[in-house]
């Protein structure tokens, strides 16, 4: 397929985007976020806290601001400083993370906190190059922390920034191939001063004005410089390559309960999808559906198939799980590598969303927090 060049028609050309104009807009309209030090506070001398910015950036990977806020507040309340997070039990951290998804982030975040607290005296590195050496900090996250915390003039490019820049310059090369030219454009726009505010301003512009659908171009401080706006083709950008069809995998989940209502659980291996998280016993996930066999079941019980099947969509595949509920006679010991969790404490287990769906299917209300009496 011939690659389109990132060019604009003569009628689309206008004045270049002015970072100062965007910063003036940001000074008036910056979002209030729990981890952010806004422009007014910065002018009063308050500086961003590296731990807060790092924590928020790790949580925001592949997740929305609205979803992250309650998790961020909970983490900062439990572990106010990086040393507190480093000293926490990993299972407690994984439990607090449950529901955010992409669980490898939580494991790497814990490892990063241990290095910063134990080897770096509790201080995060100041440069993107040094930050990127830490677990779980990639190029984007390192650039974001370095810019926001230390005002380093470095290109910060997330999904919002990609959309803004692709529209500004009518970049018609499909993503992800367009990423290098978008990064180059963003680097050229990044000012030598207030680089952190600029990075956050572009992200805010994409989140609140230059939205994927029905952008509010009339309120955009850069509309006069936007080639896509001039051409009336804003929603055509960014161009994306067609996504491959998401395959479906199949498996079986076994929800075993014994006298007293406790539920049989186990921990997934650290490597791989949902690594280190808690789950009910089950089969491997295969590309073709197959019935459960007695050998699959974790112990003897009166097993009953529960409907409907659980459907959960991951980034790269769709999962269908057949759910079986087994009532166990008496109070047998848990098989090796498993444990019995009390019904009252189930909500505190490190259960990923798919396992909460399984448990809710077999035992409605089981994963809800119990009210104190």
Residues designated catalytic: 57
Is 318 within 8 Å of 250 (Cβ atoms)? no
* Chain CA centroid to CA 91, Å: 19
Report residue 76 as tokens: 């900062």
> What's the rounded Cα separation, in Å, for the pair 134 and 112?
6
Type and span of the H or E element at 82: helix 82-87
- Any long-range contacts for 214-220 (C-beta under 8 Å, 24+ apart)? 215/167
Q: What is the DSSP letter of 213?
A: S
Nearest to 276 by CA among 90, 134, 112, 109: 90
> What's the rounded Cα separation, in Å, for the pair 37 and 41?
6
> What's the rounded Cα separation, in Å, for the pair 373 and 370?
9
The torsion of the CA quartet 97, 100, 102, 106, rounded to 10 degrees, works out to -20
Q: Beta 248-257 vs 302-313: how paired, if at all?
A: unpaired
Is 239 within 8 Å of 163 (Cβ atoms)? no
Instruction: Calculate the alpha carbon distances from 292 to 132, 139, 298, 357 in Å.
Output: 45, 44, 12, 19
Is 111 within 8 Å of 135 (Cβ atoms)? yes
Is 134 within 8 Å of 112 (Cβ atoms)? yes
Type and span of the H or E element at 103: none
Is 94 within 8 Å of 106 (Cβ atoms)? yes
Assign 3-state DSSP to the chain and report helix, strand, coil percentages, each to 5. Answer: 40, 15, 45
């Amino acid at each position: 397929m011939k690659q389109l060049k990132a060019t604009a028609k003569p009628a689309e050309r206008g004045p270049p985007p002015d970072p100062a104009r965007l910063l003036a807009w940001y000074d008036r309209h910056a979002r209030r976020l729990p981890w952010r030090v806004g422009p007014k506070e910065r002018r009063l001398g308050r500086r961003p806290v590296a731990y807060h910015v790092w924590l928020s950036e790790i949580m925001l990977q592949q997740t929305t601001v609205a979803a992250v806020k309650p998790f961020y507040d909970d983490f900062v309340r439990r572990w106010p400083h990086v040393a507190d997070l480093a000293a926490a039990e990993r299972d407690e951290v994984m439990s607090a993370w449950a529901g955010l998804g992409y669980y490898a982030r939580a494991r790497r975040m814990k490892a990063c906190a241990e290095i910063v607290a134990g080897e770096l005296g509790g201080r995060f590195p100041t440069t993107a190059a040094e930050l990127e050496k830490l677990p779980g900090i990639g190029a984007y996250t390192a650039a974001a922390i370095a810019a926001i915390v230390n005002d380093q003039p470095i290109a910060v490019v997330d999904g919002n920034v990609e959309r803004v820049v692709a529209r500004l310059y009518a970049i018609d090369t499909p993503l992800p191939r367009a990423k290098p030219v978008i990064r180059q454009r963003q680097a050229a726009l990044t000012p030598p001063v207030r680089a952190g505010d600029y990075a956050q301003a572009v992200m805010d512009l994409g989140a609140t004005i230059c939205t994927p659908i029905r952008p509010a171009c009339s309120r955009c401080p850069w509309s006069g410089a936007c080639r896509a706006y001039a051409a009336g083709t804003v929603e055509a950008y960014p161009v994306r390559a067609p996504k491959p069809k998401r395959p479906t995998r199949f498996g079986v989940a076994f929800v075993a309960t014994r006298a007293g209502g406790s539920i049989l659980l186990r921990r997934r291996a650290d490597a791989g999808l949902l690594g280190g998280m808690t789950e009910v016993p089950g089969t491997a996930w295969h590309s073709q559906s197959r019935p459960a066999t007695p050998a699959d079941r974790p112990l003897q019980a009166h097993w009953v198939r529960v409907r409907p099947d659980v459907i959960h969509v991951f980034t790269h595949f769709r999962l269908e799980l057949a759910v079986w509920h087994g009532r166990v006679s008496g109070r047998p010991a848990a098989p090796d590598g498993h444990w019995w969790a009390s019904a009252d404490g189930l909500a505190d287990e490190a259960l990923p969303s798919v396992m909460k769906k399984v448990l809710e299917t077999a035992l409605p209300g089981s994963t809800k927090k119990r009210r104190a009496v």
